[in-house]
Each structure stands twice: as structure tokens, then as C-alpha cells.
Chains A and B, each alone.
Chain A
Amino acid sequence: MKTRRKTILIVEDNPDDEALILLALRKRDIAENIVITHDGQEALDYLFAKGKYAGRDPDDLPAVVILDLQLPKLDGHEVLQRIRSTAKTRLQPVVILTSSDETRDRLRSYDLGANSYVCKPVDFGDFDSAVESLGSYWTRINKTPKD
């Protein structure tokens, strides 16, 4: 496979969080190709190259999906379930990035096969470094199944 620009798929409905994530990723030039989707259905459309992403190459999967839990239409857990139950995206790295610190959410996420679970810190300094670590780890250090 040719080296291509690594993609990070972000699933985030809150425009403020979206802006803050982008701020953190762009500041340190981690951003290679950032795709933002705003609900669960749109995220699945991107991954499966359907709907408004119909023209996309469905084999071109992101290095990581950064997935919020509380989302309109399909929530994060449902999206994760669909990713894991589809052969093509079964091994797709998925990181949960959420405000929820509930044990129940955490356990369910891991149960459904999340690769990591990160709580959005309120303090921007902490948030900034968390997003930055996530971005650099999953695009630079981690090897995806297809690398």
C-alpha cells in the first residue's frame, strides 16, 4: 500500500468541542487529514462510503475514529456496534472521547470493542494535551491493521 496522508475521523456534534479538538490538533500540526462528522449516521456513511460520501473509496479507512458517545440519531455506542459488526471495519481503531465519566458508559464501550476511552477534561490545558496525545499516538506511533 502506498503511503498516504493519514486520516482522523472525528464524530462530534458539539461545535465548541469540535473547534477545541481542531485547535489542539492543528496547533502541533498533527492534522494530516481531519474529517468531521456531526452525528452517528454521517460517521457510518463516511466509513461505508454511502450517502453524501458515496463517491469515496470504501477501502480508505481512517487511522482512528474519535467518537463521542452522546450524538444525535445514532449514539456512539450504536456507531461502535455497527463498526465492529461489519467485516470491513471490524478492526478499525476507535477511541471514545466523551464528557461522561460514568462506569456504565466506560464498561459498555470496552464491551463493544473500543480501543481506548478518554474523558474530556474540563480544563482546556488538560483537554489540549489529551487530544494532542491521542492524535500523535494514533497517527504516528500506532500501526493500523493495514499499515
Chain B
Amino acid sequence: MNPLARLDAALSSFLRFDLSRTDVVKWVLFARQLLLLLLLSVVSIAGLSAVLSTMQARDLLQRSLDREGHAIGDAVARAAFVPLTLDDDVALSELVLSYRSVEELGSLRVLDERGAVRAELPAAAGSRLSFESVPVVPTAGAPRGARSIGAVEVGMKRDVIDRRIRSIAATNVAIAALLSLFVWILGVMIIGNLIDRTRELVGEARLAEEVQRANAELEAFSYSVAHDLRAPLRAIDGFSQALLDGYSDKVDGQGRHYLERLRQNTRRMGQLINDLLGLSRVTRGELKRVDFDLAVVARDVASRLKRTAPERDAEFAIPRSLPVNGDPNLLLAALENLLGNAWKYTARKPSARIEVGRERRDGEDVFFVRDNGAGFDMAFANKLFKPFSRLHSPGEFEGTGIGLATVDRIMARHGGRVWGEGKVGEGATFYFTTGESR
């Protein structure tokens, strides 16, 4: 993970920490300003250090040049005295000329005690020089207190220093500029990233808010569907029953038949409302993932189904344990639908077998619910999961066509999927995955 990505992750978690508060944006703007300030100070420190180091370099160079000049003067003074070449003009000239190759040296003159020039390396034209005068004094073997018998005058070229300083300054400035540029680019990237992330997060927050609002509306809608649609149905059913109960002498057989059909339809519509509510319920609310045993849930659903028709010859094959990671309430609703279907579509088999389990298919672990019931034609397999679409007429098997749509939505919410395989008359198998991160 590179540092930018890490920063981004940290920032995201910080922002997510309290995204509901609108002042998050203010904080980010503040952080941006702070970063900008930090960036500017880094850049100015880099510039300042370039200037300071250049000044220091000038000082050092000046001193080293002075030292060099003094050293040359000293050397010439000794050489001039030791063999007493001060009297030998040719030797003196040779001595002076031998310093010609020293680049920093602008001029070199040897003067006698009266100040007359005895030998000279002429001053280079156009150079500013700084002069140093070193006395020629007798050294070894000379009587004590001997006085100066001449002087060496050294002129060092100032422009050599200036040139060197310029080149040092140029290097410093280049380094400072590169450093600043690097910090600047990094900073701009970070700030840009910060702004982008903020925008994204604010967008996400807004989206989440919208989703929440839409969910609340949906909830209000289902609530009113539950209350307002059920009430009139109950009235229709109730008053039909009241007619059947209290007015049987006034209603003939045909009339009673119609009233019965009226009641049948109110029951069916009641079932539709319940299933629709179930479908909308699996869509809202938070998905709470936990590890639990799906086999326990399956056994529970199976025993409840068995109790509805104890006389049926039906066998449920459920393994001892089926560990799963998902929302227990939603997966219970899914199993209720899948096992309920298996139970329903095996009703006409003399001996029903319903199996729940897990197997490996195409490299992934999938759960399945398999039955030996009525099955279905694979040509219509794509219609199985659409709300209200059914492959059987109500005369064959009761149903609202919402159950599998609900299962589909439950698996989709888990990041998994559900699909079915079947053969008419031989049974059906429904496979599902719960999008586990294993």
C-alpha cells in the first residue's frame, strides 16, 4: 500500500466517522488550508536554506582564498630569502613565474626593502583583486631581530570566488527548487485527493440520505398498504361471512357459492398483500452478517411444514451442520420460501423427498434445496424470479409468484445469487450463494 493510498484510507475512515454532520466539509476545507500552509512553509524553508547555504559558502570561499593567497606569499617569501635569490633577478623572476599556473592568482610581485619591484607576475586584465602582503624576513641562520628585507605582494582574483559562489548558489537553488517542486506536487496530489475524496464522500452521504429517504417513503408506503388495503378486504370478507351466517334462509345455493368465491378472492388478495410486504421488507433494513448454522434453520422450517400436513409421506434430508455467513432473518425468509415451494410442489408425489445441502459447482460452494416434485420447464427458467410470474396455474398449485422474487432479492442483498434447475415431473433444484468473503 503506497502512502497516498494509506492517507486516503485514513482520511476516509476519519470522514466516515461522522459523515452525518455537515461540518465535515468545513473540517476538510480547514485541513486543506492547513496543508496548503504547510506546503508554503516547506517551500520557503527550502528557499531560505538555499540562500543561507550560499552565503555561508561565500564566507568559506573567501577565507580559503585568503589563506591560499597568504600561503603563496609565504612560500615566495621563504624561497626568495633562503638562497638569497632576492639578489638574483633571474632566479626571482623564475620563482614568480612558476606561480603562473595558479588559477586564483591575479598578480604576484616581489618588492625590496625600499619598495621597488624586483620581480612581477603582471596583473590579469579585468579582474578585481584582493591583495595580501607578506614580509620577507630572514629565517634559519639569520641573526635575531633581523628586520624585513623586502615583501611579497599577492593579488587573488575575486571573480574566481564569485564564479564559484555562483555555481554553488545555482546548485543550491536547483536543489531547493527540485525539493519544492517535489513537495508541491506531492502536496497538490494530496490536496487534490482530499478534495476528490471529500466530494465523493459528500456525494455518498447525499446518496445515502436519498436512499434513506426513499426507504422511509417505501416503508410508509408498505405501512399504508398493510393497513389501508387489509382493512377493506377484512370488511368484504367479514360481511360476506355475515351474509352466509345470518341470512342463509334468504340466499340460495348459487348465492352462497358466489359469496364463497368472494371470500376465496379476499383471502388470495390478503396473501398477495402479505407476500408483497415480505418482499419490501427484505429490501429495506440493514443487512446484519453473522456466522450461523443454516441446517438448524432448515430443520426448524421443515418441522413447521411437516406439522401443516402430518399425513404426507415426505422426507427431509438435511445435513448435521451447514455453516453460513449472512443475515439470519433474511436467510430464514429465503429458506421458508424455498422449502415452502419444495413442500408445495411435491404435494402430489406419493413420496416426497426434499434435500438441503451444500456442494461444489464450477469451483464455488453453493447451497441447494432439491425436491422430486412437479419441477419446471428450463425454457421458462428466466421467469422464475420475476415478481408475479408463475409457471403453474392457480388450479395446479396455489401461489402469488412473489416467493422466488423475494429469495432473489435476499441473495442479491447478500452479494450472492440464486438460480434454478428443473425438469418437468422430476423435480427442481434451487442453488444459492450468500456472497461470503471466504
Contacts and interface: CB of A to CB of B under 8 A. Distances in A.
18 contacts: A14-B231, A16-B234, A16-B238, A17-B231, A17-B235, A70-B227, A99-B231, A100-B226, A100-B227, A102-B223, A102-B226, A122-B230, A122-B233, A122-B237, A122-B269, A122-B270, A123-B267, A124-B238
Contacts of B241: 124-125, 128
B234 A20 contact: yes
B242 A23 contact: yes
Contacts of A16: 231-232, 234-235, 238-239
A99 B233 CA distance: 11
Nearest to A16: B235
B273 A122 contact: yes
A138 interface: no
A19 to B, nearest CB: 8
B277 interface: yes
A120 interface: yes
A101 interface: yes
B234 to A, nearest CB: 5
A123 B223 contact: no
Contacts of A53: none
Contacts of B54: none
A117 interface: no
Given A23-B242, A101-B226, A128-B241, A123 B270 contact: yes
Question: Range of interface residues on chain A?
Answer: 20 to 34
Contacts of A128: 238, 241
A16 B331 CA distance: 38
Interface in A90-147: 98-102, 120-125, 127-128
Contacts of B263: 124
> In terms of DSSP, what is the predominant structure of the interface of chain B?
helix
A64 B111 CA distance: 133
A101 B274 CA distance: 9
B130 interface: no
A23 B234 CA distance: 13
Which 10 residue pairs of A and B lie closest in terms of their CB atoms, listed nearest first?
Answer: A122-B270, A16-B235, A124-B238, A20-B238, A124-B237, A99-B227, A124-B241, A99-B230, A122-B233, A122-B234
Contacts of B226: 99-102
B212 to A, nearest CB: 15
B179 to A, nearest CB: 61
A121 B266 CA distance: 11
Most buried by B among A98, A101, A120, A122: A122
A20 B241 CA distance: 10
Interface of B: 223, 226-227, 230-235, 237-242, 245, 263, 266-267, 269-270, 273-274, 277
B234 A100 contact: no
A124 B246 CA distance: 14
Contacts of B270: 122-123
A122 B225 CA distance: 13
A62 to B, nearest CB: 24
Contacts of A124: 234, 237-238, 240-241, 263
A120 B232 CA distance: 12
Given A20-B235, A23-B238, 20 more contacts: A16-B232, A16-B235, A17-B235, A19-B238, A19-B239, A27-B245, A70-B227, A100-B226, A100-B227, A102-B223, A120-B231, A120-B234, A122-B230, A122-B234, A122-B273, A123-B237, A123-B270, A124-B240, A124-B263, A127-B234
Nearest to B240: A124
Contacts of A101: 226, 274, 277
A106 to B, nearest CB: 13
Contacts of A27: 245
Given A70-B227, A101-B277, A122 B266 contact: yes
A62 B274 CA distance: 34
A73 to B, nearest CB: 17
Nearest to A70: B227
Contacts of B240: 124
A53 to B, nearest CB: 27
B288 to A, nearest CB: 14
Nearest to B269: A122
A122 B414 CA distance: 32
A84 B227 CA distance: 25
A23 B267 CA distance: 20
Contacts of A121: 234
Nearest to A27: B245
Nearest to A14: B231
A124 B230 CA distance: 11
A121 B238 CA distance: 11
Contacts of A123: 237, 266-267, 270
